[in-house]
Amino acid sequence: MRLDAYLARCTRLSRKEARRAVTAGRVTVAGQLARKASEPVPENTAVALDGEPVAIPGHLYLMLNKPAGVLSATTDASQPVVTDLLPDDLAARVHPVGRLDLDTTGLLLLTSDGQWSHRITSPRHHCPKTYRVTLKEPLTDDARHRLESGGLRLRNDDQVLRPASVATVSDRVVDLTITEGRYHQVKRMLAAVGNHVETLHRHHIGDLGLDPDLPPGEFRHLDDSEIDSL
């Protein structure tokens, strides 16, 4: 990476300001005064600005308790997005890991690490997601069997679904675990077995559960064990 680009990523300087800093003799690379803004910065090389070490920030890994009415996106012209719930310095660096529908609440991850995000969202990795589903009608035994046996087809979708896991919480509430991420999948699955989803809340991705102390609209950083678990 060029020195001016490196400085722009790890400080508040623009590329132009970074070039001026180099020209003014304010920057050192590996302890030596930098001569050119275009010089490459080898990995793990010490860089300092005005005598203070600078480094590209590490990746961010966040857990957000998504409220209803907020888009799982970074920008939108007419509606609030999940990054609006973050401080500006974090919002500019992260993207949602997958998405939740506008009216779906619960666990949403955000990160700056594209590879980590891909491992969670890629259909090849079958990462399970668990939703608390409130239904219009109690789930019948036949509907449960169709959800859990696999082979269910969604409307306007020729590809059959993988088996889901269903755990009864109460008369009209179930925990549904799926390993796919098709468009409006949970709602369409329940419609395919003759029921209707009234509310939908995601509380687990893999082994990672939504922090019960995290209010709707709030976020926190993941710890190392949580990051590694996914």
Average of per-residue pLDDT across 90-105 = 93
pLDDT digits (tens, 9 = 90+) for 114-123: 999 999 998 8
pLDDT digits (tens, 9 = 90+) for 121-161: 988 889 999 999 999 999 999 999 999 998 888 888 878 89
Mind telling me the catalytic residues?
Answer: 101
pLDDT digits (tens, 9 = 90+) for 191-225: 999 999 999 999 999 999 999 999 999 999 999 89
Could you give the angle at which helices 141-149 and 185-192 cross, rounded to 10 degrees?
130
Distance in angstroms (rounded) separating the CA atoms of residues 102 and 14: 36
Q: pTM higher than 0.75 for the full model? A: yes
Distance in angstroms (rounded) separating the CA atoms of residues 184 and 166: 18
Question: 151: number of CA atoms within 13 Å, CB side?
Answer: 5
- Percent of the chain scored above 70 by pLDDT? 100
Domain annotation for the chain: domains and CATH numbers: 3-54 (3.10.290.10), 61-221 (3.30.2350.10)
First to last CA, the chain: 29
